[in-house]
Amino acid sequence: MAFPAPGAAAVLVSQWVLIAISAAVVIARVYLRLAIQKRKILSSDVLMCAAWVCAVATASFDIKFAQMGALKPQVKTTLAGYNGVEGDVILLLKLFWVSSIPFFTTFYLCKAALLAVFLQVFPKFMKKRRIFLWAIIAFVAVSYVVSILMVLCVCLPIETNWALDPNVACTPVKVAAVFYVAWALHFTGDLLIFILPWLIVPGLQLKWKLKMGVYCTFLLGLINIIFCLVRFITIATSTADSVAPLSLVELWSALDCNIGLVIACLPSLRPYFRGRRGSDYPYNSNTYPKSANTRPGEGFNMITDPSGSRATTSGTPKRSPHISTSRSGVFDDPWEDGKKSNASDIELVNVKPQAM
């Protein structure tokens, strides 16, 4: 698949624009947690901030590559076409090797942040689905360890990663093995995480507009999967006669890394985009009468059912045939990243209590 080779400016501008966007998203996420929700920072927030720091570290290497002239369109991934002395080539190879560590770390911290959110979202009574979630968490953790170990251990001693002598340097077969295995683990993890929301969203009785919004949020994960595929195809289809430009590979890698960072933050930002009035709550207007109101400072909406009975506000409502709650007896907004509901933002979300 032939793509025109970008210059250093195109790589750096696209990369740092995405990093700036992701910084704004991360700040909005933290502000939501601390200033609006008045809550402590959650594990998913810490993981996302760490992912952003690693993304900045990864992007910083490209600044050095550009300064050394390695991101010129004519320079290939084999460094053919690079005009530099032997010391510069060795330095570039060292930087390539070191930069792979924050690069992989960014990917897996984004995955960990999303999994931390899902761990709070999945109700405990969905035992089989939570088992599947924990299996994915284990897979992602093992994948990260395997990826880093391959970078560190496939070519030993470490100096062979930047040696120029063909008799000493790490063989192309080993380098290719690291790329293929690491990419396969990363891509499989993305696919598994992309599947997770569809295990619970269909079981939520939401107003169709809200459900479509949730679907669209998670469908954005397809964008990241597409860039991941393009990056793989660009490198895997390179031949001896048609080696991919280094700048093009760096561009796809930056897009894959930083778009994933932005998308990983989006689910927890949903409260910024939803209404707070009763008309926007995700219950079906055909199921609940329009006489619902909320008294300030009380824990549940006052729902008048057809028989005339009303839900109590002491903390445990009288059971109505129209209301189903989780076993904890507390209404949670599954897309609030673990935020407990209160009188100002309660959402009556019905979860079908299945064992799956």
- Give the tens place of pLDDT for each residue, 15-72: 999 999 989 988 988 898 898 888 888 888 899 999 999 999 999 999 999 999 999 9
Alpha carbons 238 and 217: distance in angstroms, whole number: 34
- Give the tens place of pLDDT for each residue, 216-228: 777 778 888 888 8
Q: Would you say residue 92 has pLDDT above 80?
A: yes
Q: How confident is the model at residue 330 (pLDDT cuts 50, 70, 90)?
A: very low
Question: What's the mean pLDDT in 98-110?
Answer: 95
Q: Would you say residue 327 has pLDDT above 90?
A: no
Residue ranges and CATH numbers for the domains of the chain are 8-272 (1.20.1070), 284-356 (no CATH)
Q: How many CB atoms lie within 10 A of CB 266?
A: 17
Q: Would you say residue 123 has pLDDT above 70?
A: yes
DSSP 32-79: IIIIIS--PPPHHHHHHHHHHHHHHHHHHHHHHHHHTTTTSTT-BTT-
Say if residues 59 and 16 touch (Cβ distance below 8 Å).
Answer: yes
- Whole-number pLDDT of residue 84: 87
* CA 290 to chain CA centroid, nearest Å: 38
Cα 119 to Cα 187, 197, 316: the distances in Å are 21, 11, 25
Q: How confident is the model at residue 273 (pLDDT cuts 50, 70, 90)?
A: low
Structure tokens at 163: 């040696």
Q: What's the mean pLDDT when you consider all of the chain? A: 77
- Whole-number pLDDT of residue 319: 38
Lowest mean pLDDT among 47-56, 211-220, 248-257, 347-356: 347-356
- Please state the pTM of the whole predicted model: 0.74
